Structure 1
Amino acid sequence: MRFAVLGPLEVRAEDGSPVRVAEYKVRALLADLLAHGGGPLTPDRLIDDLWGARPTRNPAGTLQARVSQLRRSLGDPSLVTLGPGGYALAAHDCDAARFRALLARRSTCPHARAAELDEALSLWRGPAYADFADAGFAAAEAASLEEARLAALEEQAELHLALGRPVDLAALVARHPLRERLVAAHMKALYRGGRQGEALAAYGELRDRLAEELGVDPSPDVAALHQAILRHAPTLT
């Protein structure tokens, strides 16, 4: 069974056909297990995650009913197991695990590494656990995945610049204006595109935002890049 959480939750059979998991609490149960590496999660933990301060009259029975629904939806009762540690998913394929595995390869060849990053980032269809944005059980994992995605985008931009490929980071910088590594790549891309003034302006915006919002200056590396752009350093081309 294949699960996708880099966007809204999707379930597909091994042949790629979609598997329908309709009821929200059943989908939330599946998402909770996936957000914790497939489990195990104790029944008490799942009840708290799914119902919080508003449990049903028979929480254990309600959870068992949802587990049964999930097993029926997946078409294989053995995919959701119950052991000493609680409920868990049996061996499964999840796009979040594939994303992290691709990032972990870290090929030393720039072309190969760029291909790894391109493939990893292509797995994303939207925010991680998008249909559970208000569910506390997914918050930490979604934040971790988003940070990994942004770091991968930064590394991808740097590699593409090193390989002489065009890079347009304006929209990404607008969404994440305080990420210095991202802004630095944006400055380099602008400079190499003959837009020195815009590269310098990008630095100025970063410097002002850091001062206003965090009370700090740009890092020495970004400040050095700014000086290199000012003097048209040959190393930038």
Structure 2
Amino acid sequence: MAAVQFGVLGPLAVSTDAGEPVVVPGTKVRVLLADLLAHRNQVVSADRLIDDLWGEDVPANPAGALQVRVSQLRKALNDAEPGARELVESRPPGYLLRTGAVDADRFAELATATDVDRLTAALALWRGDAYADVADAEFARAEATRLAEQRLLVHERLADARMARGEHDLVAADLAELVARHPLREGLRALQMRALYATGRTSEALDSYADLRDRLVDELGLDPGPELVALHRRILEQDAGLSAPPKTAIIRNSLPARLDGLVGRAEALTELRALLPQQRLVTLVGPGGVGKTRLATEAARELVLPDGAHLVELAPLPVGDPRVADEVLGALDRREAAGASVSAVDR
């Protein structure tokens, strides 16, 4: 069956397997697609679809109007990817969208991880609020809320994983915006307090707790939970167990500086991240100018290696040129000692 990619982690997005955007014409057709995506791989009754699309403003021939919108959706998919019309199946008592290529499903896969790279990749799939252009529709509300909660849980898991690597100062900065948007979420507050305390900002950690306590009392008539109260006590007692682990030595890389964001390569980058720890050599192939080097350096930038990650530019050298060894040594900042008897190739 033809492959089409669907995105619901933001405004509705559709693309071919090659990454080309697919235009889905008409508001009603887009709402229909969003409804089918929210219930993907399940039959949605025609009556429900009609109600979701038109509400009380039902057309004179609702079943016929729905069939027209289904035909338009199938045509849009098929024009972009021949055979894709078969993704939308007619199944009594309604219709079914059969697909496994939805960014929300990929997010759910990555969200169960505990390592920084996969959790970062999970959050990189988001382009805004889930089902952003139909978020007020009843059919999308529960799913959008569920995904938003999962997103926050991944943010918390990622912050915890990064603090385990000693990145307390960066985590404290990143959590400031999240806490401002979700001021009553105790999990985020706990992470923020730990990060602030570990970077020596004890008064700010205590202020964060006081702010949450006051908000809970004023808005909900509640007190902070026992885990947060215990954390507050540990900070007051200056518990050594909350201190940041010693910083590791600075690892220097020889990768080019990132000048802008990497767009449209989230899936390839995720696949590459998964391959690198398992293989000694991973080769990217494709026509010149498609972005192989950019993809490779982006993946390498996130690797944690004892001696850093390095880029060796070999394109200017002819095949078999012995200066390859010199280029590698140069990228590693290893220079020949005067009078050395061992050649660069042997080194």
Q: TM-score range by the shorter chain?
A: over 0.9
Give distance in 2, aligned partners of 1:190 and 1:85: 56
Give distance in 1, aligned partners of 2:39 and 2:148: 16
1:114 shift after superposition: 2.1
Give me the TM-score of the superposition, normalised by structure 2: 0.65
Return the match for 2:62 from 59, 63, 68: 59
Give me the TM-score of the superposition, normalised by structure 1: 0.94
Tell me, yes or no, if structure 1 residue 195 matches structure 2 residue 201: yes
Relative contact order higher in (CA < 8 Å, ≥ 6 apart): 1
Partner of 2:52: 49
Give, as a single letter, the amino acid of the residue that structure 2 aligns with 1:89: L
Please tell me whether the aligned partners of residues 3 and 92 of structure 1 are also in contact (alpha carbons under 8 angstroms).
no
1:53 shift after superposition: 1.1
Question: Superposed, which structure 2 residues align to 1:148-159 within 5 Å?
Answer: 148-159=150-161
1:116 shift after superposition: 1.9
SS of alignment partner, residue 93 of structure 1:
coil
Give distance in 2, aligned partners of 1:38 and 1:20: 22
How many matched pairs? Answer: 231
Give, as a single letter, the amino acid of the residue that structure 2 aligns with 1:47: I
SS of alignment partner, residue 37 of structure 1:
coil
SS of alignment partner, residue 86 of structure 2:
helix
Partner of 1:181: 187
Return the match for 1:116 from 115, 118, 122: 118
Question: Superposed, which structure 2 residues align to 1:45-194 within 5 Å?
Answer: 45-75=48-78, 76-104=84-112, 106=113, 110=114, 113-165=115-167, 166-167=170-171, 168=173, 169-194=175-200
1:85 shift after superposition: 4.5
What root-mean-square deviation, in Å, do the aligned CA atoms of Structure 1 and Structure 2 show?
1.2
Give, as a single letter, the amino acid of the residue that structure 2 aligns with 1:61: G
Say if 1:25 and 1:38 are closer, same or farther in 2 by CA, change over 3 A. Answer: farther
Return the match for 2:239 from 225, 233, 236: 233
SS of alignment partner, residue 2 of structure 1:
strand
* Structure ranking higher in helix proportion: 1
Please tell me whether the aligned partners of residues 39 and 89 of structure 1 are also in contact (alpha carbons under 8 angstroms).
yes
Give distance in 1, aligned partners of 2:93 and 2:184: 41
Please tell me whether the aligned partners of residues 40 and 99 of structure 2 are also in contact (alpha carbons under 8 angstroms).
no
SS of alignment partner, residue 127 of structure 2:
coil
Deviations 1:97-131 (A, max 9, x none): 11112123x4xxx5xx2222111111001000111
Any gaps of 5 or more consecutive residues in structure 2? 79-83, 244-347
Larger-Rg structure: 2
Give distance in 1, aligned partners of 2:93 and 2:234: 57
Deviations 1:126-146 (A, max 9, x none): 000111122221111000100
Any gaps of 5 or more consecutive residues in structure 1? none
Deviations 1:194-225 (A, max 9, x none): 11111000000011111111211111111111
Give distance in 2, aligned partners of 1:118 and 1:2: 21
Please tell me whether the aligned partners of residues 4 and 10 of structure 1 are also in contact (alpha carbons under 8 angstroms).
yes
SS of alignment partner, residue 218 of structure 1:
coil
Give distance in 1, aligned partners of 2:98 and 2:185: 38
Please tell me whether the aligned partners of residues 110 and 118 of structure 2 are also in contact (alpha carbons under 8 angstroms).
yes
Please tell me whether the aligned partners of residues 40 and 98 of structure 2 are also in contact (alpha carbons under 8 angstroms).
no
